[in-house]
Amino acid sequence: MDARLLNVVDVEATCWDDRVPPGAVNEIIEIGLTVVDLEARERVGRHRILVRPQRSAVSAFCTELTGLTQGEVETGLPFADACALLVAEHGGRERAWASWGDYDRKQFIRQCRDARVAYPFGEGHTNAKAVFADAYGLRKRPGMAQALELAGLPLQGRHHRGEDDAWNIAALILELVRVDRWPGDTQDASA
């Protein structure tokens, strides 16, 4: 496993403000990925993969939250191709990865199982939200925007946009690295 580079992943998925429409499921529509060089202590790559949903559509609520439209995600890759891209071009199985909370990991597991697609990551996942809460002595794990405030960091871009959220989560991880609170062993810390 490449211990120097860390993939920071944030997904956006189809969502609704009320009940899920009949036959629809939450599906990934955007994968934001920021590559962090843990030794150099900097963000070295910023990527966005749009994913075309197969069993649901982008609701007005989802567009309001993420800015993503049905027309935009229709130009995206099929989920299987997005997973293959994570492996082939972003070291999905070779690099450890992190997300804010455990939603992203669980969403990938569920969607890969349902679509019969190979899981695109190795086992080295870290729940950055849990690490942050522990480092700051917080009983309640904060959302990303609140964590940025607590760390004195600016929110860059649009909140609930995968590419921007991954960038901001990477900034929080680098702050944890700076204060020596990021785990050196990035095995599954998703508790």
Q: What is the DSSP string of the chain?
A: -EEEEEEEEEEEE---SSPPPTT----EEEEEEEEEETTTTEEEEEEEEEB--SS----HHHHHHH---HHHHTTSB-HHHHHHHHHHHH-TTTEEEEESSSHHHHHHHHHHHHHT----S-S-EEEHHHHHHHHTT-SSPPPHHHHHHHHT----S-TT-HHHHHHHHHHHHHHHHHTT-S-SS-S-B--
> How far apart, in Å, do the first and last CA atoms of the chain sit?
21
Checking DSSP bridges between strand 28-37 and strand 95-99, what pairing results, if any?
Answer: unpaired
pTM: 0.94
Q: Hey, what domains does the chain have and what are their CATH numbers?
A: 2-178 (3.30.420.10)
Per-residue confidence of the chain (191 residues) as pLDDT tens digits? 668 999 999 999 999 999 999 999 999 999 999 999 999 999 999 999 999 999 999 999 999 999 999 999 999 999 999 999 999 999 999 999 999 999 999 999 999 999 999 999 998 999 999 999 999 999 999 999 999 999 999 999 999 999 999 999 999 999 999 999 999 744 444 44
